[in-house]
A and B are shown apart, each in its own frame.
Chain A
Amino acid sequence: EPEVTQTPSHQVTQMGQEVILRCVPISNHLYFYWYRQILGQKVEFLVSFYNNEISEKSEIFDDQFSVERPDGSNFTLKIRSTKLEDSAMYFCASSLDVYEQYFGPGTRLTVT
């Protein structure tokens, strides 16, 4: 069964560094999403992406975040200058239509 994959599974970085989290959505899906879950808190929506542009973003998704679909298969989330509070599990999701979203296993980001 097709699945969403994410790399790396765990990323440790120093405060102020740039990180790129990578996702490979299910191949025929058209909608892509990033969510994050700070330890012990709710899963929160960050951004949705369709037709090579951002379709919606939350107030969390400020100028230090960006997303890209560089080559038609990968979907990336870049954090330009990481802060301690960016430490969280980041989930990528994809969907064929606007209905059911399929989630990847997540990347645990630790900012020290």
Chain B
Amino acid sequence: KQEVTQIPAALSVPEGENLVLNCSFTDSAIYNLQWFRQDPGKGLTSLLLIQSSQREQTSGRLNASLDKSSGRSTLYIAASQPGDSATYLCAVRSNDYKLSFGAGTTVTVRA
């Protein structure tokens, strides 16, 4: 059974600092990995998807890396802004149809 862990559980940084969010998974036989953003009481917004054959994916200030063999992914957010405050979820798709989610990292960016 795929287990996904996210560290740290919470993070508070001043505006402008770079954010580093970590995700690890136990079974390296994955199809892809998705990073989501979740605002309080809201749905899931997909940020980046990395296929198992890729090493990284970039979108604007966001960069996600994937090391499949070691079961790790990292989400980097450059030059953080107060609007980046949210919970960030990592989800892994293994050799089946479902996504397995981590518990998330709750980010607070202080103005």
Majority SS at the chain A contact face:
strand
Chain B residues positioned under 8 Å from A45 (CB to CB): 98-100
> Is there an interface contact between A105 and B43, defined as CB atoms closer than 8 Å?
yes
> Is there an interface contact between A106 and B42, defined as CB atoms closer than 8 Å?
yes
> Is there an interface contact between A99 and B99, defined as CB atoms closer than 8 Å?
no
Total inter-chain residue pairs, C-beta < 8 Å: 56
A99-B51, A101-B34 as given contacts; A42 in contact with B43, CB under 8 Å: no
Residue with the highest number of chain A CB atoms closer than 10 Å, among B42, B49, B89, B97: B97
> Is there an interface contact between A102 and B103, defined as CB atoms closer than 8 Å?
no
* B34-53 to A contact mask, C-beta < 8 Å, 1/0: 10100001111110010100
**Alpha-carbon gap, A43 to B37, bound state (A):** 13
Determine if B76 is an interface residue (Cβ-Cβ < 8 Å): no
> Is there an interface contact between A33 and B98, defined as CB atoms closer than 8 Å?
yes
> Is there an interface contact between B102 and A42, defined as CB atoms closer than 8 Å?
yes
**Alpha-carbon gap, A111 to B42, bound state (A):** 19
Query: Would you list which residues of chain B between 12 and 49 have a CB under 8 Å from chain A?
Result: 31-32, 34, 36, 41-46, 49
Determine if B101 is an interface residue (Cβ-Cβ < 8 Å): yes
A31-B97, A44-B101 as given contacts; A103 in contact with B31, CB under 8 Å: no
